[in-house]
Amino acid sequence: MKKVTLSIIFIASIFTSFAPAMAQFPMGGSSTTQKALPGTAGDQTPKGNSKITGTIVDSTSNKTVEFASIALLDKTTNKPIDGTMADEKGKFTMNKVAAGTFKLQITFIGYNTKSLDITLDKGQELDLGNVVISSSAKMLNEVTVTGQAALIEEKVDRLVYNADKDITAKGGDAADVLRKVPLLTVDLDGNVSLRGSQNIKVLINNKPSTIIASSVADALKQIPADQIKTVEVITSPSAKYDAEGSGGIINIITKKNNLQGLSLNIDGGLGNRGSMLGLNGSYRRGKGGVTLGGFGRGIYNTITKTSLDQTSIVNGVSTLTKQTGDGSSHGLFGQYNLGFDYDLAKNQSLTAGVRYGVRNFSNQQDLITKLYSNGILNSDASSRRDVNADNLSGTVDVNLDYLHTFKKPQQEWSISTLYSRNDLTNNFDANLMDPEGITLSRQRNINTNLNQEFTFQSDYQTPIKKNQMLEFGGKGIFREVNSDYKFLFAGPTGSFSTEINQPQGELTYHQNIAAAYSSYTYTTKKRYTIKGGLRYEHTFINASTKEGGPIGVGDYGVLVPSINASKSIKGTTVKLAYNKRIQRPGLQQLNPNFNSANPQNITVGDPTLKPEITDNFELTLSKNIKKTFINASFFGRFTNNAISQVRIPSDTLEGAIITTYKNIGRQHAYGTNIFANIAVTSKMNVGIFANIIYNTLTGQVLGLNNVTQNLTNSGFNVSGGIFSQATFKNGWGAQAFGFMQGNQVQLQGNQGGFAFYTVGVKKDFKNKKGSIGLAGENFFNSRFRIHSELKSAQFNQVNNIYMYNRGVRLTFSYKIGKMTVDAPKKKARSVNNDDVKSDGQGGGQQGGGGQQGSGTPR
């Protein structure tokens, strides 16, 4: 352990000490004359030693404007004498400018021309800050098209979905927003897939959280939908990101403000299946700011019914299980945060924050099970079982970040730290009863988990000339996972006690990671953009169980290349990408707890799992055609040593199927994602998207009596949706959304599909300080059925889950306080861990009536 720690500190210290030193080198940017744009400068360009810098900003959205043209005009003759173009972040620089009085002119399609009179002294460095430009009224149609395209923004390595105009999601959670993001699918339990893969990483404001490492679905329930500003889908992460997440990265950006003064926002909602209340306050004055917020959400009246037909063959005996279940669930979810930022100097800032998330989810199910051995009812093995399961957690994230910027635009050095801890409890109590409801015995499973980590990270970036960017950095992650579990028994009354040969134990899993990366971006004169990088990560594993001693999971290193290229050709943006990714197992895959809340469908993790390796290839095309923005991507994903769910019959529990995880095979996926946004009018748009993926899965499963089974499965996964939003006079607005998910191919069968829809209206108050809304979901359907089928040589399972999630809710929001606008300043970056596999895997809908199908309505 000491050796591991020293290795990580050594790598981090190299980059920490090297970054400030690199800041002193010009890197070619300051000493090279920048060429003017064609037509704006010639051989008559006056030479000098003054400099002009600034950032172009949209007056309405307050977002930066990419690639605007900036011309320097002679104030007397009005002739251009120098010029440049803003970069992808809206920033521009003019070097070698002579002293004098000039007119600076900013132009961009769809915007009014902006002119500024400036005077430069010899050797002066003039920083104009944010230069605000406004939309052109005479270009209304073109601006509308641009606005629709901006709903989904294309970057060289990601897709950005602007979610802050969603009026139906208010009162819901992050899963409601992610369902509307192209490339993503979210099932009714909140499990997220990117292009058909659940091996993804989810970040919140570029930061990880240990609750996400435990379960993405649970984490999404704690994030209020109306606090999400954008969702970034990074299908081809650069070397700067952790190598984890074979399917890609999802970064959820919450709403922030750069206002001065005091404000308080109140958001609430009341519905037949859930209610919420949020309070968020902020105070900014001068160099510092403080934010304090809280959000609470309760769910109730959620009903689930299940049916299960399951056949298993053990030692020549065929056992048929018929099971029905009636269940309900309720829960409380909350998230509370305290943030602080302070400008230490003009070019230095410090950011700190504490966030606490809580989840208190309970599920009750009444299971009636009948077993037939070789076609004859086994009354002794049949049972009635009343189960109460608790899923509780408390998560703390503490961060402290420092950012140092330099005179050269976009040159910066940062140090980020994060401590994250999640205390997770998964318990259940079961009463075993006879057909008349008399309790015969009781069972209890206690499973407490601790997942904590500390991260130190340092990053440095500097431009080279005006068309190149160099980035490099180092990172160390110190992670510990503990799982303590035991199975208890009791009679109809009395206390619980352990029994011999029953599952119990303790897992301690240390995972430390040392990483270093370098990334280079180059943009040609013809607007080709190429971004390539290389990252190396070395993982040190020290795992053991209390009863069995060390687990033979060795250390491993991986070299991860990535390359992204983009080019606009006759109005069509083309992107090509390749990257290699790894996927480390997460807590639920490692957890050896024997979860038998439903004794016919038992789950248990495997602490010996190794990471899987994936190669990703991608081609993306996007184009504006009049009032329609179209994006189409084609991809291939090839995974070896894949972590897959494996199901085998139990040789000790009659009729039971055991689900675990193994590195057993290969997964190949080929697919396309297509979406279009249509500006029907200036105040109404319609979006359509579809995902079509062909999967092939192969692997070997070690079944009963050590018999190896070769398994192969393939098929299409199809999903799609449509959404529309419109604004009307007097502050009225409306929105509708519908989604369909087809069957999902698994190694041993298919998971059932589902569909849902939602409609909402909203009315803003005249003073613009508040609004009231009404939303309804699935109001034409009393329930949805999810039909899944699993099969192998030794078992067959047909599982139906019925979700009763027809709902309606009333929402409101109000703002208190007077704020004044302050120019946004660059704040310290935060740690960006994205390197642990969540449970997902669709397991939430394969339990056959255990703790499945919470069906949380949104």
Neighbours of 600 (CB within 10 A): 28
**Confidence class of residue 65 from pLDDT cuts 50, 70 and 90?**
confident
Mean pLDDT within 489-505: 84
Cα-based distances in Å from 144 to 63, 134, 141, 627, 681: 16, 14, 5, 8, 8
Cα-based distances in Å from 44 to 36, 47, 53, 92, 228: 11, 9, 22, 21, 50
Looking at the DSSP bridge assignments, the partners of residue 446 are 486
Nearest of 205, 211, 194 to residue 245 by alpha carbon: 194
For residue 488, pLDDT over 80 is answered with yes
For residue 90, pLDDT over 80 is answered with yes
Comparison of pLDDT for 235 and 694, the residue scoring more: 694
Chain segment 693-733, per-residue pLDDT in tens:
999 999 887 766 667 788 899 999 999 988 887 888 888 88
**Confidence class of residue 109 from pLDDT cuts 50, 70 and 90?**
low
For residue 435, pLDDT over 70 is answered with yes
- Under 8 Å CB-to-CB from 3, ≥6 apart: which residues? none
- Per the prediction, the chain carries an average pLDDT of 80
For residue 635, pLDDT over 90 is answered with yes
What does the pLDDT read at residue 826? 54
Comparison of pLDDT for 456 and 113, the residue scoring more: 456
Largest CA distance in the chain: 102
What does the pLDDT read at residue 832? 58
For residue 477, pLDDT over 80 is answered with yes
For residue 499, pLDDT over 90 is answered with no
Q: What percent of the chain has pLDDT over 70?
A: 81
Chain segment 151-176, per-residue pLDDT in tens:
566 665 677 877 776 655 565 677 77
Length of the chain: 858
What does the pLDDT read at residue 248? 77
| Residue 476, both tokens | 């160390």
- Range picked from 160-164, 266-270, 576-580 for highest mean pLDDT: 576-580
Give yes or no for a contact between 825 and 275, defined as CB atoms under 8 angstroms apart: no
What does the pLDDT read at residue 515? 96
What does the pLDDT read at residue 824? 42
For residue 537, pLDDT over 90 is answered with yes
Mean pLDDT within 583-610: 88
Mean pLDDT within 510-526: 92
Mean pLDDT within 537-565: 89
Chain segment 587-596, per-residue pLDDT in tens:
788 888 888 8
Look at residue 482 and give its three-state secondary structure. Answer: strand
What does the pLDDT read at residue 154? 63
What does the pLDDT read at residue 851? 33
What does the pLDDT read at residue 837? 54
Chain segment 172-188, per-residue pLDDT in tens:
677 778 877 877 877 66
Residue linked to tokens 């033979």: 552
Give the least confident one: 152-161, 423-432, 840-849. Answer: 840-849
**Confidence class of residue 563 from pLDDT cuts 50, 70 and 90?**
very high
- Range picked from 9-23, 38-52, 243-257, 356-370 for highest mean pLDDT: 356-370
| Residue 337, both tokens | 């945060």
Annotate 483-551 with three-state secondary structure.
EEEEEEEECCCCCCEECCCCCEEEEEEEEEEEEEEEEEEEECCCCCEEEEEEEEEEEEEEEEECCCEEC
Q: What percent of the chain has pLDDT over 90?
A: 27
Tell me the whole-structure pTM to 2 decimals: 0.71
Question: Which amino acid is present at 654?
Answer: E
Chain segment 23-63, per-residue pLDDT in tens:
333 333 333 333 333 333 333 444 678 889 999 988 766 77
Comparison of pLDDT for 32 and 578, the residue scoring more: 578
- Under 8 Å CB-to-CB from 829, ≥6 apart: which residues? 206, 401, 403, 414, 416, 459
List strand residue ranges (DSSP E) for 43-146, in order: 50-58, 69-74, 80-85, 91-97, 100-107, 114-120, 125-133
Mean pLDDT within 137-160: 48
**Confidence class of residue 512 from pLDDT cuts 50, 70 and 90?**
very high
What does the pLDDT read at residue 110? 63
**Confidence class of residue 637 from pLDDT cuts 50, 70 and 90?**
very high
Distance of alpha carbon 394 from its chain centroid, rounded? 20
Q: Is the dihedral of CA 657, 661, 667, 669 positive or negative?
A: positive
Comparison of pLDDT for 132 and 217, the residue scoring more: 132
Nearest of 301, 441, 432, 443 to residue 368 by alpha carbon: 432
Task: DSSP letter for 710, please.
Answer: E
Chain segment 823-840, per-residue pLDDT in tens:
445 555 556 565 555 444
- Under 8 Å CB-to-CB from 316, ≥6 apart: which residues? none
